[in-house]
Structure 1
Amino acid sequence: MKYLALTALIALSACTGKPSFNDPALSDRQLDLEHYFEGEQIAYGQFQDILGTVRRSFVVTLDGVWDGERLRLVEDFVYEDGSTEQRIWTLRKTGPITENQTWEGTAPGVIATAFGQEQGDRFNWRYEIDLPVPSADGPTETLRVQFDDWMWLQSDDRLLNIAYVKRFGFDIGQVVISFEKQ
């Protein structure tokens, strides 16, 4: 019975709706990724599993530098248990400047290249990463997961990010982050 319930839950999780660029825009704002992330920011976030249980929360400070070609984004995470992590992204525009601007990026731990697209007030960022995850009974483990991040510009100084997380093709949870320019 326990396995039947778990199988049903996994099947249902595959049917959950996700954002799309076909969805109507929430505003007439235009996200300009390189300028939004330039400078210092602070963000607050949490990861919750597919059952809705919050597993980790964190604060992240960000420092972005746009040199006209590349956006370098340094993210310093501090988790509720006091552990820390740093991720340094290097992003660059890959397509002609249009309403649907494309991006690619790399960071340590990210498998191959991350790909993104800007459209109106939104940005979608997809990548696979070896993510360090603390173990309840000892050292940190590394899990390979796929992120499907959706970001919406809510005001000139606020951006909401919901990242859908998968492992082996199945939804395992989501990360919700609110970014604020300093």
Structure 2
Amino acid sequence: MKRNRNRNKAFAFLVITALTACSGPPDLGDKPLSDRTLNLEEFFEGKSVAHGQFQDVFGNVQRRFDVQIAGTWDGRILKLVEDFTYDDGETEQRIWTLEKTGKDTWKGTAPGVIGKATGQENGDTFNWTYRIDLPVRKGTMRVDFDDWMWLLADDRLLNRAYVSRFGIRIGEAIVVFEKK
């Protein structure tokens, strides 16, 4: 009986993995959703807040969070100080240092990020990818983020981050940023 349950769980996992592999993230070549233009440095300079959650591949919400963000822009470097508060009361601070490397391209670092994060703006969209040793409740977990952001209004940005480990999607983070 237990053997059948384990076999069923393994089969369900393979089916979910196959289905999520078929539905990929957006592409910078996709048609823009609006005529707005996202300029990361303009949106994040000053104070902003974010509200989000992480959910696994089955759609189960695993954790919710709020973030207070302070951004400074010096004409080349965008520094973001992110203060996270999780639904269980845990707190975390992540400090990003992003460098504008071209008209629409960025690279950046933050504690835990392996190598450099890279990003590109296109119209109302920004794509940001990186590998990070992400703090989790019992240590850290090395994961890859494929962040997609869309400027919904001058003061609102939607972020959908596809999170994978060993090339297999393990979940998504959905975040809404609001400029103060």
**1:21, distance to aligned residue in structure 2 (A):** 1.3
* SS of residue paired to 2:16: helix
Gaps of 5+ in 2: 1-6
1:122 aligns with 2:125: yes
1:68 aligns with 2:75: yes
Q: Which residue of 1 aligns with 2:4?
A: none
Q: Which residue of 1 aligns with 2:21?
A: 14
Alpha-carbon distance in 2 for matches of 1:159, 1:5: 34
1:71-94 Cα offsets, whole Å, 9 max, x none, are 000000000000001000000111
1:177 aligns with 2:175: yes
Q: With the length of structure 1 as denominator, give the TM-score of the two structures.
A: 0.93
Gaps of 5+ in 1: 135-139
Alpha-carbon distance in 2 for matches of 1:93, 1:59: 26
Give the number of the structure whose residues are more often helix, by fraction. 2
Alpha-carbon distance in 2 for matches of 1:40, 1:18: 29
Q: Would you identify which runs of 4 or more consecutive aligned residues in structure 1 move more than 4 Å?
A: none
**1:33, distance to aligned residue in structure 2 (A):** 0.6
* SS of residue paired to 1:77: strand
Match of 2:162 among 142, 152, 164: 164
Quick one: percent identity of the two aligned structures? 60
Query: What is the RMSD computed on CA atoms of the aligned residues?
Result: 0.8
Q: Which residue of 2 aligns with 1:137?
A: none
Q: How many residues align?
A: 173
Q: Which one is further off, 144-153 or 8-17?
A: 8-17
* SS of residue paired to 1:81: coil
Q: Which one is further off, 168-177 or 16-25?
A: 16-25
Alpha-carbon distance in 2 for matches of 1:9, 1:125: 25
* SS of residue paired to 2:131: strand
Q: Which residue of 1 aligns with 2:106?
A: 103
Q: Which residue of 1 aligns with 2:115?
A: 112
**1:11, distance to aligned residue in structure 2 (A):** 1.8
**1:28, distance to aligned residue in structure 2 (A):** 0.3
**1:141, distance to aligned residue in structure 2 (A):** 2.0
